[in-house]
């Protein structure tokens, strides 16, 4: 689960948000430990958006689709859609504060050893 979001304009170009997760979670093909993460877009020269999750233990890159959500208003706060399966948390989507779009995480979820 997520403890909180710290969102706002930052000096870092492409930064979407900061998030603190209470437990480990999968994002794309990677497992990340609980903790605080800076999430930003990265320009890799392609058409597909790439997100970087940067935390205390390093960073991972994840491919995403940028999707508009007609039901979402630009005044809503940032948030995440997480799915719990077999007591493991999977990040599926990030919603951007002050916008009607979000990022759907692509790829088969990573499998964590028990």
65 in a structural domain = yes
Total-model pTM: 0.76
Helix (H, G, I), strand (E, B) or coil at 87: coil
Task: Give the pLDDT band (50/70/90) at residue 60.
Answer: very high
Residue 32 phi, psi (nearest 5):
-115, 140
20-35 residue pLDDT tens: 888 899 998 889 999 9
111 in a structural domain = no
Q: Domain containing 59: what range?
A: 2-105
Q: Hunting for tokens 């205390």 — which residue is that?
A: 56
37: its two tokens: 């993460």
Could you give the number of structural domains in the chain? 1
98-107 residue pLDDT tens: 777 889 998 7
Residues 6+ apart with CB under 8 A from 58: none
86 in a structural domain = yes
110 in a structural domain = no
């Amino acid at each position: 689960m997520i403890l909180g979001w710290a969102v706002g304009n930052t000096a870092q170009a492409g930064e979407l948000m900061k998030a603190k997760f209470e437990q480990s979670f999968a994002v794309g093909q990677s497992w990340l430990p609980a903790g605080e993460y800076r999430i930003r877009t990265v320009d890799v020269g392609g058409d597909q958006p790439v997100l970087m999750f940067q935390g205390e233990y390093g960073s991972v890159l994840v491919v995403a689709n940028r999707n508009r959500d007609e039901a979402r208003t630009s005044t809503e706060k940032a948030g995440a859609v997480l799915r719990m399966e077999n007591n493991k948390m999977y990040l599926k989507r990030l919603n951007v504060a002050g916008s009607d779009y979000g990022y759907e995480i692509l790829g088969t979820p990573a499998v964590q050893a028990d």
